[in-house]
């Protein structure tokens, strides 16, 4: 591997600490490298709880665009699954679990409940069900519609296991 393509063990720069000017109480979550997979999803914002959602739940939001559609003109299941996977790592940051750049999705199970519409925000609500020294066990819902639990429509549910980065790969805090 040439020197310009070497892998570094520093946390990718994530702009999660910048408030989103268009969404009070939300923070931008984007990697500094625009050619990473996450950029395909478009802008992502994140926060802890709010609007009737408990503070131990990370809320990760994106607005699906035409490029995320399937032939039925709704969000493609692969795009939705990709968003779910990225939301796990955004949730780690929002819930102050630590660096997520070198964490690894070990398992992700997704159950599609309904079709998510284009051009309307979708939100992953992610909660940690258990944390061990090396693993996080998470579960969540993808919702679309009103922000409060009483009006949002479930589009998918998921469970996941994420292996936390080793202390050698994680940057010093």
Evaluate whether residue 168 is within a structural domain.
no
| CA–CA separation, 140 and 155 (whole Å) | 11
Global confidence as pTM = 0.85
Range of the domain at 95: 3-163
- Each residue's pLDDT tens digit, 41-97: 999 999 999 989 999 999 999 999 999 999 999 999 999 999 999 999 999 989 998
How many CB atoms are closer than 10 A to CB 92?
Answer: 22
Q: What is the pLDDT of residue 173?
A: 42
Q: Looking at per-residue confidence, does 6 or 172 come out higher?
A: 172
Evaluate whether residue 124 is within a structural domain.
yes
Distance set, CA 54 to CA 88, 127, 145, 148, 149 (Å): 17, 10, 18, 11, 10
Q: What is the pLDDT of residue 166?
A: 79
- Each residue's pLDDT tens digit, 110-153: 999 999 999 999 999 999 999 999 999 999 999 999 765 567 89
Query: Which of the residue ranges 33-42, 61-70, 96-105 has the most confident prediction, judged by mean pLDDT?
Result: 61-70
Q: What total number of domains does the chain contain?
A: 1
Q: What is the pLDDT of residue 30?
A: 79
Residue 32 has pLDDT above 80, yes or no: no
Evaluate whether residue 98 is within a structural domain.
yes
Evaluate whether residue 170 is within a structural domain.
no
| CA–CA separation, 133 and 47 (whole Å) | 25
Evaluate whether residue 36 is within a structural domain.
yes
Q: What is the pLDDT of residue 7?
A: 35
| CA–CA separation, 132 and 123 (whole Å) | 26
Evaluate whether residue 172 is within a structural domain.
no
| CA–CA separation, 6 and 88 (whole Å) | 26
Q: What is the CATH number of the domain that holds 146?
A: 3.10.129.10
Contact 82, 110 (CB under 8 A): no
Evaluate whether residue 171 is within a structural domain.
no
């Amino acid at each position: 591997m040439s020197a310009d393509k070497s892998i570094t063990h520093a946390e990718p720069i994530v702009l999660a600490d910048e408030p989103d000017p268009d969404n009070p109480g939300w923070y931008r979550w984007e990697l500094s490298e625009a050619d990473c997979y996450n950029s395909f999803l478009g802008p992502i914002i994140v926060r802890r709880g709010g609007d009737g959602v408990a503070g131990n739940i990370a809320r990760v939001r994106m607005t699906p665009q035409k490029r995320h559609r399937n032939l039925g003109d709704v969000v493609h299941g692969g795009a939705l699954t990709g968003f779910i996977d990225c939301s796990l790592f955004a949730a780690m940051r929002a819930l102050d679990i630590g660096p997520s750049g070198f964490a690894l999705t070990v398992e992700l199970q997704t159950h599609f409940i309904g079709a998510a519409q284009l051009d309307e925000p979708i939100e992953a609500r992610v909660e940690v069900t258990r944390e061990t020294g090396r693993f996080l066990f998470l579960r969540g819902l993808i919702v679309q519609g009103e922000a409060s639990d009483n009006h949002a429509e479930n589009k998918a549910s998921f469970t996941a296991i994420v292996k936390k980065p080793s202390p050698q790969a994680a940057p010093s805090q």
